[in-house]
Chains A and B, each alone.
Chain A
């Protein structure tokens, strides 16, 4: 074992990578489709540990046969997944996407479209992209690198990704395959299985208190017994070696989640 892998200096970014990996651990043989660096790191970690059946892409047009470091080119290729075919897989359902979220609300709705009124936004973002379709077609998770009251709001300005409550209201066509699985942030892990399909705190990262998470969240998390909220697990020695020496030796993850 080299000196760079030690469980005594586990960073928040390492914890986040393992938490993302855990979101994909029980997916079986599906397309793990990450948007952004930390989701990509976590999905690759899952493939090397808990779920070797995961299907990965280079985010462009190739299914990867191997598991290259984040930012590296594909080595072995096992298939072709140009943009158009992604929509086929979305409809087919064998996909778990982890997207970003500029806003998430208490019902697990997500916004990447615009901030402020849609007719005249204060700030135009990307557009809703595939979020409406992803959320009613295949398993969807969100990654939030800077957990704050600006992101976690009472109600999102534009519903791009559809939470379970809205999906049920829209009927069986929308709710049948709606599956908002995890929301992983730099502070904590959530699902959307709270009372009335609301965001529920599952764990807080080591060094973070429930009070801090509540403080950074713009709606009531409804935690009655903070002491009962578990701590997010720390990565194993094997995972630390994979993160530090195989998947992200350049430490790109610290650009998203700085080492404290």
Chain B
């Protein structure tokens, strides 16, 4: 016994091995920013089915929808930003291939994560009142305030239901082997909330460093994840590609355009893109991405 917390380093396959069909999986990041894409690619290639996905959606939603992995989707938006509409998500919606759609307001989504992280069944919020979010999601109820407002009125508010997750998947810039982790970009997004809303959380990262290395060149306020929240750590360099992982790298716009064109194109177009980039493991994906970049640079 040396008082050292346990080593939680894992491989991508170890993480996928911890998942089961039918699970509810929350994915960190935001739209096309700092998504755990290496883990998403591995899930797309796995035998897993009937997943419930909870995400501020980007290509994570698109890829898993196209791979037929999503039974239920909980989202407020799905976008690639510079490509505003995610073509694989659009296709899935327009062809009706996702059986259960839960489109909610962003504030409700945040409140739902907060509620789950605080082990509350719901949190009150105005967002959703009067909108079709309440019409299309009849499971979402309102709650009457027990306290009167200044006019003596007891307001009815939305009871944003907790977004309880079986598993959270996030991608960070740096982590230690115990599960402490930092973001070095401008925005933490909601990754700590996803981890706290989940029974199990796995963090991929650009680089695993010593614990002391986490704060050697960055303020302690950037240590977003504490090891209490994290069950496994995977080193996956360039693992957020083609989303941002500022400051390690920005979004690969050229690759994203190629992705969107293939997704928008014929089944053959997608099959060719899939064959070239997505049919193998993470190492072969990264090799194909390097070849794509070299080709474009010529």
Contact = CB atoms under 8 A, between A and B. Distances in A.
Interface of A: 60-62, 82-84, 87, 90-91, 113-114, 118-133, 135-137, 158-162, 166-167, 169-174, 176-178
Contact of A136 (B57, B126, B132): B126
B215 interface: no
A126 B84 contact: yes
Interface residues of B, number: 46
A120 B130 CA distance: 22
Interface string B101-129: 10111111010000000000000011111
Contacts of A129: 76-77, 105-106
Interface of B: 30, 57, 75-79, 84-85, 89-90, 93-94, 96, 101, 103-108, 110, 125-133, 135-136, 142, 145, 149, 151, 153, 155-157, 186-190
A61 B186 contact: yes
Contact of B189 (A83, A132, A161): A83
Counting chain B CB atoms within 10 Å of each CB, which of A121, A126, A159, A169 scores highest? A126
Nearest to A60: B186
A84 B89 CA distance: 24
A170 B188 CA distance: 34
A167 B130 contact: yes
B57 A166 contact: no
- Which 5 pairs of residues, A with B, have the shortest CB-CB distance? A133-B127, A174-B129, A170-B130, A133-B107, A132-B131
B106 A130 contact: yes
B125 A133 contact: yes
Contacts of B190: 83-84
Given A128-B104, A135-B130, 12 more contacts: A82-B186, A90-B107, A119-B101, A122-B94, A124-B89, A124-B94, A126-B85, A130-B107, A136-B130, A161-B131, A162-B131, A166-B130
A131 B127 CA distance: 8
A104 B244 CA distance: 33
28 contacts: A82-B187, A83-B190, A84-B190, A87-B106, A120-B94, A122-B94, A127-B75, A128-B105, A128-B133, A130-B76, A130-B106, A131-B105, A131-B131, A132-B108, A133-B107, A136-B129, A137-B107, A158-B136, A159-B130, A159-B131, A159-B135, A162-B131, A167-B130, A169-B130, A172-B149, A173-B129, A173-B156, A176-B155
A100 to B, nearest CB: 10
Nearest to A156: B132
B77 A162 contact: no
Given A83-B30, A136-B126, A130 B105 contact: yes
B92 to A, nearest CB: 8
A160 B96 contact: no
A158 B136 CA distance: 9
B132 A160 contact: yes
Contacts of B135: 159
A54 B76 CA distance: 28
